[in-house]
Amino acid sequence: MNELTHLSPGGTIRMVDVGDKPVTVRRARASARVRMQPATQDLIRQGGMPKGNVLETARLAGILAAKQTATLIPLCHNIPLDHVELRFAFPDAQSVAIEAEARATARTGVEMESLVAASVAALTIYDMCKSADRGIVIEYVRLEEKSGGRSGHYLRESSGVVG
């Protein structure tokens, strides 16, 4: 197992110094799933939610959240993002699959940005649909893939939450 990089030798919390790392293209994909009643999914598909277009609102919320990751997660670096994209799919009759991709040309990766984007998009779906379905569940928030940087390429074996 790798050492804990956010702890100093004395055990205090620190922000990792990335100043000596090379600038490379960093890319990360994360996913989440929102499980709901089939009738709730039908309302999303038909644009019938009183608060408006659920998926477009979740897309915008995810993009904005990715840009705020360093504000939300204390030890994350503020990374100038080149691109953030969110995709949605309906893998079955009672869920929405979310995939968030972040890309930057930077000294550190964008895993947290993609995870924050997927999480906030899922929370936005919950918020916009809670009046119709109080039993909504957010699940499977996870990193699917990352590339760029010293640790190399990572691809989750069961990748592909969004069809």
Q: Per residue in 14-34, pLDDT tens?
A: 788 788 888 999 999 999 999
- pLDDT of 70 above 80: yes
DSSP character string of 72-97 = HSTT-----EEEEEEEEEEEETTEEE
Q: How many CA atoms lie within 13 A of 144 on its CB side?
A: 21
Q: pLDDT grade, residue 83 (50/70/90)? A: very high
| Euclidean distance between CA atoms 54 and 43, whole angstroms | 9
- pLDDT of 36 above 50: yes
pLDDT in tens, 108-147: 989 999 999 999 999 999 999 999 999 999 999 999 999 9
Q: Fold for 36-147, please state it.
A: Alpha-Beta Plaits (3.30.70)
Beta-carbon neighbour count of residue 50 at 10 Å? 9
DSSP character string of 49-64 = -TT--HHHHHHHHHHH
Residue 86 is which amino acid? L
* Amino acid 16: pLDDT: 81
Q: pLDDT grade, residue 162 (50/70/90)? A: low
- pLDDT of 163 above 50: no
Percent of the chain whose predicted confidence (pLDDT) is above 90: 75
* Amino acid 1: pLDDT: 44
- Residues annotated as catalytic are 127
* Amino acid 3: pLDDT: 62
Beta bridge mates, 29: 101, 145
Residue located via tokens 């904005």: 64
Beta bridge mates, 97: 33, 89
* Amino acid 160: pLDDT: 54
The token duo for 79 is 């990374």
| Euclidean distance between CA atoms 139 and 59, whole angstroms | 18
- Helix and strand tally (H, E) in the chain? 4, 5
* Amino acid 4: pLDDT: 56
More confident residue, 159 or 108: 108
